[in-house]
Amino acid sequence: MTEIVVVPTITPLPPYPTPEMDDAAYNNAAFLTTKAYVVMVDEMQAMGDATHTNATAAKEQAQRAVDAATDAAQVQDIVLGAANFKGNYADLAGALPMPASVKHAGRFWMLTRNLANVAADVPGVSTAWTSLDSGQVVTQKITANTTGIAGVKYLIVGPNVTLTAPVGANKGDRFGFMLCVDRTGNQRIDFGAVLVRGKPAAMLTLDTNGAAADVQFEDNDLGWI
């Protein structure tokens, strides 16, 4: 972390030589001014270095403020969900409005949109839910193209499957995948325009039996890590 530093000052220049001066005074003023220029150049360099350091520190502090705001928003969601806990998902039926949270498959889930029929949107399968805790790993077998959601590890058990990484991920969101059948060359992970460890990945073909990864979203600069 870069610390703010004191910006040094520049020593004022002595009086400039002027045409009204006699030769001795003119030469002396010119000598003193020229001598002062050497000091001023060093001081200007020091001032520039300090200004650059402070600009870097300000940028880092601004990013920390953004991260803190993101963390606060996530904590707010967790608190809101916990305050509206509806019990076990399996016990619910009918319409379910926000805010609400449930427990399902060993994990707590927060509702992200109003549901007309809660039974039609299963946590870990439907994008209507987002996980509130790390808990035990939630897994889902897939045999067809699937758009992933945060908090789920997908087990690819089909020959022609494209798994799309969760869209609109927030810092700390996790998801994973594992190839659980022989590779065919048509099993892929689609990261779209989101970076993976700071580099473009786009469409990743799983070309090794048992290929697997568990990733976490960091930010737009690093993407999934």
Q: What is the pLDDT of residues 106-115, one digit of tens each?
A: 678 888 899 9
Residues 97 and 167 in one domain: no
The yes-or-no verdict on residue 187 having pLDDT over 70 is yes
Domain containing 165: what range? 137-225
Residues 97 and 67 in one domain: no
Question: In the chain, what percentage of residues exceed pLDDT 90?
Answer: 48
Residues 141 and 165 in one domain: yes
Distance of CA 102 to the CA centre of its chain: 27
Residue 107 belongs to some domain of the structure: yes
How high is the mean pLDDT of the chain? Answer: 87
pTM: 0.48
Residue 1 belongs to some domain of the structure: no
Predicted pLDDT of residue 32 = 92
* Bridge-based pairing state of the strands 195-196 and 199-200: antiparallel
Residues 201 and 142 in one domain: yes
**Domain tally for the chain?**
3
- Name the CA radius of gyration of the chain, rounded: 30
Residues 122 and 159 in one domain: no
Residues 50 and 91 in one domain: no
The yes-or-no verdict on residue 80 having pLDDT over 80 is no
**Residue whose pair of structure tokens reads 């403020």 in the numeric block:** 65
Three-state SS annotation for 37-79: HHHHHHHHHHHHHHHHHHHHHHHHHHHHHHHHHHHHHHHHHHH
